Amino acid sequence: MTTDEIRAAFAHPALRAEMTLPGTAPLDRISLRDHVREVEIGAFQQERGRTQRLRFDIVVEVLREGPVDDDVDRILSYDRLTEAIDAELASERVNLLETLAERIADRILLEPQAARAFLRIEKLDRGPGALGVEIVRLKGGTGRGAELVAPAPQPRVVFLGAGMLDHAALPAMLDRLIAGDAPAVICLAAPDLPRPRSPAALAQRRIDLLAIEQAAWVLAGRDRRCLVVNSRTELDWAMRRRQLCVWAPSKMVLDAVDGPKASDGLSLAVWFAETMGALELCLIGTDDRVQAVVPVRRASMETPL
């Protein structure tokens, strides 16, 4: 790996193409530029007990399996780059930029789509210019592995039956979910209102799913703390930030290879809780019997969650 090749990673795409791995077609890239953080780092005594600005530039070559089709779950999200930085900065204090760069690259290359990572980290406060390191790493090149994989967040899934969005205790219940010990995802029943009927099963399935999504947008419109989410990528991002989520089921259900057979809100909530490895499924506003591989608890709008 030449210095020119490392520098080309951050250059114009035409120059980058000249530095493609031998024998391979040019790969797509995603990048993070001019990301500045205040960090305590350094081997010298004068760098201890104080922070200094670091600037991060990251380029990742990514593998594609078929067209993206404007689907966020088929790409490597930019958030995974900033999360890799955050995770390593929170792990422990290090002396060397080289160490930090290695660890961030290791973490990024655990992503399935990541093929090669280029990192530049610069200290902005150590002299009249920027002092830094540049590295490039290939997937599987360092040996650090499973211990870096952050476990997926385990949510508390709360199912609200029909009519629960008009319950007077709804705001207080949302307060408790936000203050709870786990990220919360709300699943909803379809509104108890007439909806179109279709003789085509797939068309009716979409109609039923859209009815639930209408309820999700009603809840989000009433309380701005609720974020409507429809993809695994956005769910993961939101749960890691303890954002209160409301599930819009169409995308995950229709994309699933072995998805749920029924389209009623409760059946979908059970499938979703099992798919996400939920801590528990809390049922509010329904007396229907439920079987699930995750713990199921009946609750009310007034009881702790």
The pLDDT score that the predictor gives to residue 92 is 78
Cα distances from 193 to residues 26, 105, 159, 163, 210, in angstroms, run 53, 52, 18, 10, 13
**Average of pLDDT values for 98-106?**
92
Reported confidence tier of residue 15, pLDDT bands at 50, 70, 90: low
pLDDT tens column, 146-204: 445 556 789 999 999 999 999 999 999 999 999 999 999 999 999 989 999 999 988 99
pLDDT tens column, 126-145: 878 888 999 988 887 655 55
pTM over 0.75: no
- Report the percentage of the chain scoring pLDDT > 70: 88
Determine the Cα–Cα distance for residues 28 and 19; give it in Å rounded to an integer.
Answer: 13
Residue 103's H or E segment, with its range, is: helix 97-108
Residue 59 pLDDT exceeds 80 = yes
**Average of pLDDT values for 119-130?**
88
**Phi, psi of 246, deg, nearest 5:** -120, 125
Q: Which is higher by pLDDT, 233 or 218?
A: 218
Domains, in order of start, for the chain: 3-148 (3.30.1130.10), 156-299 (3.40.1160.10)
